Chain A
Amino acid sequence: MSMYRYTVRRLLQIIPVLLGVFTLTFVMMHALPGNPVRIYLGLNPSQELADELIRQYGFDRPLWQQYLDYLGRVLTGNLGESFLLKRPVADLMLERLGPTLTLMGLSYVIALPISLLLGVYAASRHNELGDHVSRFFGLAGLSTPNFWLGLMLIFLFAYELGWLPASGYVPFAQDPVESAKRLVMPVITLATAQTATLMRMTRSSMVEELSQDYVQTARAFGLPERRILLKHAFRNALLPLVTIIGLQLSFLLDGSVIAEKIFAIPGMGRLFFKGITKQDYGIIMGMTLSFALLFLVGVLLTDLAYAYIDPRIRYD
């Protein structure tokens, strides 16, 4: 099968998966006790007003009808309206896309090279001091909760030292210096766990490769160690790593919810969090579908990347 046909087939497969995500999310959301109207109106609301809003938003209709209506709207590209913010979900998400992508992109750009370098280094010093130190930091980075690290960074760099502003987001185009200052701490917060995960994966993958016979043979032939490491072993170790790198995207989304909240960044993570706590069906559905789509595209790109890394892989 050609790569073109494979790509098209995989793209088509996204549709039933998205439908599954849509259906599951819809069902789970409605299975929760309470409803957005009730949460919005709080304690002791006017019964008349509550009834009216429930009618207006169609929450009193049978669930299957609500499901089909909503599905129909989504199929025409309309993600619906946020009950809470009274605005189209797509608009709300677009407004918040910039900060989230900046945060995630920068975290990834920083985490990736550092983790690969450290992972290869640790593997090349297997069971030596350098390896132990790298592993220690890897474990520490992995075990540090995002929210704790974020608060500690704020405490140190903003509160004690006064070097960086504690919170907020300034678009790069508006003021590059101010933008960078405000991104340092959230990016470190988000990148730390990423770096740790990827570093540990790189290390174990490299350790495995370095124990293979071909590496021994290469060494016997007197090939330089650097060449063995980077040209031969690393290339082979990349395959499992690419899978993890792709999947880590979804964890970045996860972490951005916390980083955006602590550092007051008006991104999609916070919107999602608000949507969930207030049971705003529009926001929950819109965000879940978008995240699912992003994840599926990430997985697809990962699969396609295999071909580049390992030409033996065939798409049939």
Chain B
Amino acid sequence: MSALGGATVLAGCGGQKTTGDGPGGTDQKGGTFINTSPESATTLDPRMNELAWANSMMHYLFDSLLAVKPDGSEIVPHLAKERPKKKDETTYTVPLKQGVTFHDGSELTAEDVAYSFNWVLDPKNKSTNRENLGFIESVDATGDYEVTFNLKYAYALFELELTGMNAVIVPKKAAENKGQKKFAQKPVGSGPFKLKQWQTGSHLTLERYDDYFLKKANLKQIKYRIIPEAQTAFVDLKTSGVHQASVPEKLLGEAKNIDSIQMKRISQFDYNGLVFNSKRKPFDDRKVREAMQYLVDYDDMLKVTKGELGKRSYGFMPKEVNEAWDFPWKEWKQKYYPPKDHEKAKQLLEEAGYGDGFDVTMSTLASGKFKNMVIKLQNEMDQVGINAEVQEVDIGRWLDQLDTGEFDVTIYGWSGGQDPDGFYYYLFRNPRNDDGGVEDSYVGNASAGMLYEAYPDSEKLKKADQKIREARKLGSRDERRKLYIELAETFQSEYPHIPVYSEQSATAWSKKVNGYDPTAFAAQPLCNKWSNASLSN
């Protein structure tokens, strides 16, 4: 889970051939698909990567045991021969496909799978994935082509975790021989493409792996060009310098008028909002926090921040998760997100003893989407006598404020994936109750608006923390759903946060690319089990 990227899932390459005449002319096997990225990956070792967006590049190099269908509807076996077989609540066996090879020609066996997981779990390796796989006790090779997972506790997201970049398989021999640092520069995986050249800040070129265990890719190469400015990347797309680029919100209209490209919006499974520090006056009073909901037309706030590329979010989860889980978000909308009503806001402020207003500092990052959110709130505050100062801070200072609790109001963005756990566990649990606990100096969970710190004796919150931990251990989706509805009710009624919008990214690609349909779930959209892209002349 990350504040920087979206859902991470994986699929394999093969599927039907798409060679033949495409809409743009004659399809050709081969060719280089040129994609763009605003930043360079910092490592190509998936075991050490913290940047979720960099996974989209690494998905072509590495495979996982399971994969999610491009429409997100189902988890299917990938390197695994079939889905995990449950022995008991905490023990699963996974049979592996035979004949899968790594880019160095060696065969992928159970030993590699066990090694990959156990390496991540070993604290001395300092893997950034360790916490995400923290539900696993160990993985044993119980045959040449069978592994057994021993879990610490029953874990609802076990299969979903096995589809992601946190759980990809690396070759034991190559990884050990190279050492972690060298492996990060010259990785060896089993994916449909292998590394050809990597120059940080400039480009990453991947080359087709001809012995891929599914059908080999049509494309000869995939190149990621690093173009920091979105406008520049968009011009490159229009002038055929690249095949794919994201479209900034201001250029959406322009993009629609360009015949040579097609565009799609992809959900980011995140939400962005405002956090009020409930540990500090005046936001220690729930009524003041609630008044903030009445103060602003949040639909309007969405318009001035992400515009067309955002959707309102409710229940601290993006709309897609609310819909997939059939959460009663429409009821929540009515109950906890009433329309703008300054009279009601004033009344609540008066009841809390702040009828004459107060002074407050709001911090924000420089990016327009966050800054406009805070400025909008500032304007509305001004109308009810609240004197708000907006402070633009860099990311170091912002994170520092969250760590120390030294803020009144600040912005927040979180990408939690497809499961409610990705939001509630990371944002609303009380970390003081984690195994091993936290230091006394720890000031609490900023994302929960410091609620736990502000009301340490609240039974309601204690129960909420227990429910968050319980929900990730339950096997039944219905039981989990029930708990998440209760949690959403609890936290929404406290207004630690006001979730404003979930983002969508607009991606556009050249019509010369055939058999290509990127989705939020398809991690290797150019080449997976269901499709195999090609370029036409």
Q: How far is the CB of A263 from chain B (nearest CB, A)?
A: 7
Residue among A56, A266, A277 facing the most chain B CB atoms (10 A cut-off): A266
Contact A95 B199, CB 8 Å, known A49-B130, A86-B43: yes
- The one of A53, A166, A261, A277 in contact with B239, judged by C-beta atoms closer than 8 angstroms, is A166
Contacts of A155 in B (CB 8 A): 235
Q: Which stretch from A18-26, A27-35, A116-124, A210-218 is at the chain B interface?
A: A27-35
Q: Which stretch from A61-69, A157-165, A242-250 is at the chain B interface?
A: A157-165
A130 contacts chain B at the CB level, 8 A cutoff: no
A126 contacts chain B at the CB level, 8 A cutoff: no
A125 contacts chain B at the CB level, 8 A cutoff: no
Q: Let me know if A151 and B231 touch, CB within 8 A.
A: yes
Q: Let me know if B447 and A86 touch, CB within 8 A.
A: no
1/0 contact string of A41-55 vs chain B (CB within 8 Å): 111101111001100
How distant is the Cα of A279 from the Cα of B126 in the complex, in angstroms?
Answer: 21
B397 contacts chain A at the CB level, 8 A cutoff: yes
Contacts of A38 in B (CB 8 A): 396, 399-400, 403
Within 8 A of A (CB), among B202-257: 202, 225-229, 231-233, 235-236, 238-239, 241
B394 contacts chain A at the CB level, 8 A cutoff: yes
Q: How far is the CB of B252 from chain A (nearest CB, A)?
A: 16
How distant is the Cα of A86 from the Cα of B238 in the complex, in angstroms?
Answer: 35
Q: Let me know if A167 and B126 touch, CB within 8 A.
A: no
B50 contacts chain A at the CB level, 8 A cutoff: yes
Contacts of B43 in A (CB 8 A): 86
Contacts of A86 in B (CB 8 A): 42-43, 181, 184
Report the contact-size class of chain A (Cβ under 8 Å from the partner): 35 or more
Q: How far is the CB of B166 from chain A (nearest CB, A)?
A: 12
Q: How far is the CB of A97 from chain B (nearest CB, A)?
A: 12
Q: Let me know if A42 and B231 touch, CB within 8 A.
A: no
Q: Let me know if B228 and A270 touch, CB within 8 A.
A: yes
Q: Let me know if A264 and B229 touch, CB within 8 A.
A: yes
How distant is the Cα of A13 from the Cα of B403 in the complex, in angstroms?
Answer: 44
Identity of the chain B residue whose Cβ is nearest the Cβ of A167 in the assembled complex: B232
Q: Let me know if A34 and B126 touch, CB within 8 A.
A: no
1/0 contact string of B174-206 vs chain A (CB within 8 Å): 000000010011000000000000011110000
- The one of A39, A154, A162, A266 in contact with B232, judged by C-beta atoms closer than 8 angstroms, is A154
How distant is the Cα of A86 from the Cα of B128 in the complex, in angstroms?
Answer: 14
Contact A169 B235, CB 8 Å, known A42-B50, A46-B130, A264-B227: no
Residue among B181, B199, B229, B431 facing the most chain A CB atoms (10 A cut-off): B229
Q: Let me know if A41 and B236 touch, CB within 8 A.
A: no
Report the contact-size class of chain B (Cβ under 8 Å from the partner): 35 or more
Contacts of A158 in B (CB 8 A): 235-236, 239
How distant is the Cα of A52 from the Cα of B414 in the complex, in angstroms?
Answer: 24
B436 contacts chain A at the CB level, 8 A cutoff: yes
Contacts of A270 in B (CB 8 A): 201, 228
Q: Let me know if B396 and A39 touch, CB within 8 A.
A: yes
A315 contacts chain B at the CB level, 8 A cutoff: no
Contacts of B199 in A (CB 8 A): 95, 266
Contact A43 B399, CB 8 Å, known A52-B126, A262-B232: yes
1/0 contact string of B306-338 vs chain A (CB within 8 Å): 000000000000000000000000000000000
How distant is the Cα of A32 from the Cα of B398 in the complex, in angstroms?
Answer: 11
Identity of the chain B residue whose Cβ is nearest the Cβ of A268 in the assembled complex: B201
Contacts of A165 in B (CB 8 A): 236, 239, 241
Q: Let me know if A166 and B400 touch, CB within 8 A.
A: no
Contact A167 B184, CB 8 Å, known A49-B126, A84-B42: no
Q: Let me know if A56 and B126 touch, CB within 8 A.
A: yes
Q: How far is the CB of A203 from chain B (nearest CB, A)?
A: 34
Contacts of B4 in A (CB 8 A): 42
A184 contacts chain B at the CB level, 8 A cutoff: no
1/0 contact string of A265-283 vs chain B (CB within 8 Å): 0100011001001010000
A32-B396, A43-B399, A264-B232 known; 16 new pairs, CB 8 Å cut-off, are: A34-B398, A42-B4, A44-B426, A44-B447, A47-B431, A52-B123, A52-B126, A84-B42, A86-B42, A95-B199, A158-B235, A158-B236, A262-B232, A264-B225, A266-B200, A274-B39
